[in-house]
């Protein structure tokens, strides 16, 4: 069975013009009372394309994972203390180091000031 069976008695349309465009009945003029009816009638039952894509890829399945007795999963418990780091042979091999890309690059103040002075001289001349 498909995950969604459309109701044959329901109207699935984003807009009143969608109903008019795909309806077999032509030449019907809509007035202000119809417009107020359709604004109340609009249920949002037609999903937009990105919503369909999110549902089809199944990316929401991981949100439905619970801990024991319908509690939060361990990764969502904010009060939980992190596990202590393991000690043993060669603890220096497990030490986390900062990558070269994330280290700040030292800039000498003198170089920076010389560059600013050159720019100021070019602007004034």
Place of tokens 């030292």: 106
- In tens, the pLDDT along 55-102 reads 888 877 777 778 888 888 877 778 877 777 777 676 666 666 677 777
Q: Where are the domains of the chain?
A: 1-67
For the stretch 2-29, pLDDT in tens is: 777 777 777 676 666 666 666 666 676 7
Residue 42 pLDDT more than 80? Answer: no
């Amino acid at each position: 069975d498909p995950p969604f069976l459309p109701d044959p008695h329901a109207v699935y349309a984003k807009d009143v013009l969608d109903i008019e465009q795909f309806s077999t009945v032509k030449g019907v003029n809509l007035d202000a009372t119809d417009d107020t009816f359709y604004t109340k009638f609009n249920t949002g039952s037609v999903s937009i394309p990105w919503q369909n894509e999110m549902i089809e890829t199944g990316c929401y399945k991981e949100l439905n994972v619970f801990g024991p007795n319908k509690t939060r999963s361990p990764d969502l418990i904010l009060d939980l203390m992190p596990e202590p780091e393991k000690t043993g042979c060669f603890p220096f091999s497990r030490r986390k180091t900062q990558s070269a890309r994330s280290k700040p690059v030292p800039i000498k103040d003198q170089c920076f000031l010389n560059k600013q002075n050159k720019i100021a001289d070019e602007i004034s001349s």
